[in-house]
Amino acid sequence: MILCKTPEEVSLQVRKWKLEGKKVGFVPTMGFLHEGHATLFDKSLSKADKTIVSIFVNPAQFNDPEDYAKYPINTAGDLKLCESKKVDLVFLPDQETMYPGGIPDVLLAIPHLMKNLCAVSRPGHFEGVLLVISRLFHFVEPDFAFFGKKDYQQYLLIREFCKTLAFPTEVIGCETIRSDKGLALSSRNARLSESEKEESLLVSRALRLGESQIRSGITDPVLIRDIMKDVLDSSSKIKLDYLEILNADTLESLEFLKGNLLLAVAVFIGPVRLIDNITLSVSE
């Protein structure tokens, strides 16, 4: 496994591979890797000739400095996992490498996909995501890039961003990986106590209940939302950030639940913010 710490090293290796006719897959991460990330690596390894993983906790996408400071880090464990999965190259830059002279004063946005969900509750977050992705994509020049759909809004934004700016990269969304009990895997789960992890299972339970109610024929989004909210409100440890039922392709609000749907939830359990979602299709 090749370890690179500068964009120049990455670009040189990628150019060598592309001269050999190799297709490059890319999985950008913020580290503290888990089985969900490993699944993305597997997807890339099965589709591309070479797989690159980046590990960089991006300060530009944190609207809360304390959240950034507390983000879990385990570089040695991350590299061990990448090596065990036979990742070809790990890009491990520091902040000065990614943002020479500091985070640039530039605003990247896709307004029609940033009207709700995390774009509202975490102002500046997606602007920071698009900034770091644009830089990483220039360095890596991937043919394929893999993103987990747990961060569904992020996946849609990056897919649209690449299309709009004509990056020659196919953005591939991969299904959320869950624990045996249903909790969506996340690096932030490490900050939960055991009792908080039990409480967090109410998030996936609310989503599954909402899905079952929609599949039973209920088309009123207000009613479904109220049913789901009752589940979350049953815990005094859960503070609701948002609970939305939207068109899964456009993130627009709906009067009636038809077509491709996104059920999305964000909650706080103590100081830890968790997000989760499911998608489903209902016949028109």
Q: Which residues are catalytic?
A: 37
Angstrom distances, CA of residue 26 to CA of 89, 124, 156, 161: 10, 24, 17, 16
The answer to whether the beta carbons of residues 47 and 144 sit under 8 Å apart is: yes
86 Rama sector, left if φ>0, alpha if ψ -120 to 50, beta otherwise:
left
